[in-house]
Chain A
Amino acid sequence: MSAVGQEETQHQIDFTGNWFIDIGILGFINLMEDVYGWDLEELRNRIKNEPEKVYYGYFPFAYLYKWCSDKNENVDKELVSLLAINLEKSVLQNQTEALLNYVWFKYICKLFTNLWVENKLKIIHEKDMYDKKNKLKKQFNYTNSQKYLQLIREREKIIDELQKNHLEEIKEILKNKKLNEIGYDEIKCLINIDLNNISYPTIPDKVKELIAKIKETHSDIENFLKEEWNKIIQTENIDKKDSHFYRLPIDSGFYKNFLFFNNSAGNLEQKQSFHHMICSNFDKEEVLDRIDKTINKFLPSESEFTNILYTKLSTTIFKNQYGYIFVYLICFTYGLENYKSLGYVVFYSNDLVFTYLVNKKLKSYKEKIKLSTDPNKIFKVTWEQIIDLLVEYKSKWSLENMYIISYQRLNNQSQEGVKYIGIHKLQASILLDDKIREALNTRIQWKSANEGGGKCWLLEEFIKGKTLYPIILNHINLALTGDDHFNWAPCLYGLLAHSELQTRQCEADWAPCLYGLLAHSELQTRQCEADWAPCLYGLLVDAHIADFRGKNKTLFSDNFFDNYRALVKEIKEEVSITTFSSSLISKISDDVDTRKRVARDLYSALCGKDKNMFLNILLKNVNENKGLSSNSNFYNWILEKIIANDTSFEMYGLILVMNLLSEGKK
């Protein structure tokens, strides 16, 4: 690549193919959009025209601004617009250090005023400012520390007096009988109390006087600290030996001890680290020369890499390709969005625009989902949005190359609930069908209340490429064991609503159940609607995939290039045929208990994967009913789907069990 070409690539913002870098890029875009309201196009334009301003000016402020807002600190929102106006006019283009210096002192330090002051105000006792060797700690040791110490001492004296002589009164004022020691929180409460308030008539004057004094000294410290902090904002300079005193109080669970988050870094060092990070200056910061657990908790630590015996994974190669690699890497966490029931989730495909649009759309729906009490809503909305966008974007390719990455908690010590789900082409093709997707896009209970009552998202298992049969088998078992959560009759409504089966024949059979359903509460209906259709579709999808795999031993068959259209069509046709034919089993007996007994026997045979036993039990029971035995729809279905089918007879068998149970609740 020519030098010019390489430079151009560095300034373009696009996906790389490495998912952890790409999520970082997405995080960077999200961050800039959150703070400045720029969409992808605007960000790309700005990077193209003035990359230094974006990376050394806008980015550092946005990053720390977001950090502050996430900590629920009161952030000064006006600073954002002020920075945008002033940077727009700024002529510091190409002077990266000067740019960062300007933004750092004028905006970032200003942003941290309250946080920094409060952090210093929290020190109540002078002794806490000294280390074990009785030396002033470096975060308190600076040019004017004597004045600061004196102010702290004055306040401490009053607090001590209150503590020793008037603790009972303080307990009464604060309405806290367990109070043993007056700390920073108590001081804050005392300061905000109006002592002339009639609710404290019994408080002696001496205590009132002391509290008033605390207010005064506390305010003195606050003003003093604000003055000191404003000085550095004005002068845009800090004396090197005062650097630790002015350290920005930032910390991160994800980037523990990383560069500017490290407690040992003073204000100037933090700024310098930020600069080194943006321009990937490996010479000055050793930690930047490697890509490992330090920068992303999904990666192993350097010594755990399996290829460590051959070579170290250096960032140098990435730097040549993507100029601001660490800017992206550090934005990784902003690429994932927190959804209440799912944890942190990102939908990732190799295409930046598509990924950006999908995640943006989902974010906009997040608020709406929050208001809903239905836990399934998140799944439904998510997939609706993705598929809508696919149609809009005309890119089946994107879904076929899409991954869902999610985690519950991620820090140095633990990685909880991390999932990385890829979607196979076969599954993607099936998912593109509305009916099948809707039916599978739900959660069904598959563990009893004793085992934690676990629910399983069928779609997730499906896109993982797992078979749904064991989950549905457990689900049916719960129904068999008489779990009260299950009410199958209303599920028929779901079936009719979801499946294409609306033939007259069928309506005649299902109608009584439908009317029965109307007697149930609407809530019950909603809860149970989801259960039948997902099981039916789940089993049929499973059965067809099993058959399909049996037939197609090679991956790149004609079907592969036809996007498995025939398979999807077959599944949909199968739904209507099977729903009708299998429902005939309910005629086996009018007695609910008999049907339940047969269902239990058949279920046991299925658990043992014993086709012989299953057919024996089935036919022995059917043999008692001559009408059913000679029903051609029924016996042809049994012959084709169970007797002649050795690959997926269990799925069809389970559908029969479902039918026996559903009618049992009639």
Chain B
Amino acid sequence: MNKENTYYWQKVVGDRPISMDLRDIREAVSEGFESESPNYKQKLVYNLLETIRNNDQKEFFYILLKAINKPKKDYTRLLEQLNKNYDVMPEEAFVNFAYTVVIGIMATYDGGEKNE
């Protein structure tokens, strides 16, 4: 992935500039949502897309965290990524992050053609 295009920003709490590896995030999301029902995921994606369109970061993370708040499911990798990246981001960084999450969920729909 193109490192040059990655957005850097200063975390609100903390002093190190941080960046995101979108491919890692996508994989972590896919791994976490793998076993969920497709219709549920499809609905979730619509809700998330709505919040991204309005650039509503608070609502986006609220819906996402609510979705993964399931002790029986293994969201360890995704939680690690969120722990690393969760922040009030610049709009451009948020858009990239949020759509990566959406793509990650969409990638796990049943009946997908796996050409790889």
Residues of A within 8 A of B (CB): 505, 547, 550-551, 611-613, 615-616, 619-620, 622-623, 626-627, 629-633, 635, 638-640, 643-647
**A635 neighbours in B (Cβ, 8 Å):** 26, 103, 106-107
Report 25 cross-chain contacts, Cβ distance below 8 Å, ordered by A residue. Answer: A611-B95, A616-B52, A619-B45, A619-B106, A620-B46, A623-B45, A626-B38, A626-B109, A627-B112, A630-B113, A631-B112, A631-B113, A632-B114, A632-B115, A633-B115, A639-B26, A639-B100, A640-B1, A643-B22, A643-B100, A644-B2, A644-B100, A645-B5, A646-B5, A647-B5
**B112 neighbours in A (Cβ, 8 Å):** 626-627, 629-632
Report the Cα distance A616→B23, complex, angstroms: 19
Q: Determine whether the beta carbon of B111 is less than 8 Å from that of A627.
A: yes
Report the Cα distance A505→B100, complex, angstroms: 27
Report the Cα distance A550→B6, complex, angstroms: 12
**A644 neighbours in B (Cβ, 8 Å):** 1-2, 5-6, 22, 96, 100
CB of B33 to closest CB in A, whole Å: 11
Q: Determine whether the beta carbon of B103 is less than 8 Å from that of A643.
A: yes
Report the Cα distance A639→B113, complex, angstroms: 17
Known: A550-B4, A638-B103. A612 touches B55 (CB 8 A): yes
CB of B24 to closest CB in A, whole Å: 11
CB of A545 to closest CB in B, whole Å: 14
Interface size class of B (residues with CB under 8 A): 35 or more
Report the Cα distance A646→B23, complex, angstroms: 16
Q: Determine whether the beta carbon of B99 is less than 8 Å from that of A615.
A: yes
Query: Which B residues, 66 to 96, have Cβ-Cβ distances below 8 Å to chain A?
Result: 91-92, 95-96
CB of B32 to closest CB in A, whole Å: 15
Assuming A612-B55, A626-B112, A627-B113, what are 8 further A-B pairs, CB within 8 angstroms?
A612-B95, A615-B99, A620-B49, A623-B46, A629-B109, A632-B107, A635-B107, A644-B96
- Tell me if B15 is interfacial: C-beta within 8 Å of chain A: no
Residues of B within 8 A of A (CB): 1-2, 4-7, 22-23, 26, 38, 42, 45-46, 49, 52-53, 55, 91-92, 95-96, 99-100, 102-103, 106-116
Report the Cα distance A611→B98, complex, angstroms: 13
Instruction: Give me the 8 closest cross-chain CB pairs, A-B, nearest first.
Output: A630-B112, A626-B109, A629-B106, A630-B109, A616-B53, A632-B116, A643-B99, A631-B113
Nearest residue (CB) in A for B21 is A644
**A619 neighbours in B (Cβ, 8 Å):** 45, 49, 99, 102-103, 106
Nearest residue (CB) in B for A615 is B99
Report the Cα distance A489→B98, complex, angstroms: 36
**B116 neighbours in A (Cβ, 8 Å):** 632-633
Nearest residue (CB) in A for B96 is A643
Q: Determine whether the beta carbon of B5 is less than 8 Å from that of A613.
A: no
Nearest residue (CB) in B for A550 is B4
Select one of A547, A612, A647 contacting B52, CB under 8 A: A612
Report the Cα distance A646→B19, complex, angstroms: 14
Looking at chain B's contact residues, the main secondary structure is helix
Select one of B23, B42, B95 contacting A623, CB under 8 A: B42
Report the Cα distance A644→B22, complex, angstroms: 7
Nearest residue (CB) in A for B116 is A632
**B5 neighbours in A (Cβ, 8 Å):** 550, 644-647
**B26 neighbours in A (Cβ, 8 Å):** 635, 639
**A550 neighbours in B (Cβ, 8 Å):** 4-5
Q: Determine whether the beta carbon of A629 is less than 8 Å from that of B107.
A: yes
Report the Cα distance A616→B55, complex, angstroms: 11
Report the Cα distance A131→B58, complex, angstroms: 94
CB of B67 to closest CB in A, whole Å: 16
**A631 neighbours in B (Cβ, 8 Å):** 112-113, 115
**B107 neighbours in A (Cβ, 8 Å):** 629-630, 632, 635
Select one of B6, B7, B102, B108 contacting A630, CB under 8 A: B108
Report the Cα distance A46→B116, complex, angstroms: 70
CB of A604 to closest CB in B, whole Å: 14
Could you say which of B52, B113, B116 has the most chain A C-beta atoms within 10 Å of its C-beta?
B113
CB of B19 to closest CB in A, whole Å: 11
Nearest residue (CB) in A for B42 is A623
Nearest residue (CB) in A for B105 is A629
Could you say which of A547, A623, A632 has the most chain B C-beta atoms within 10 Å of its C-beta?
A623
CB of B101 to closest CB in A, whole Å: 10
**A616 neighbours in B (Cβ, 8 Å):** 49, 52-53
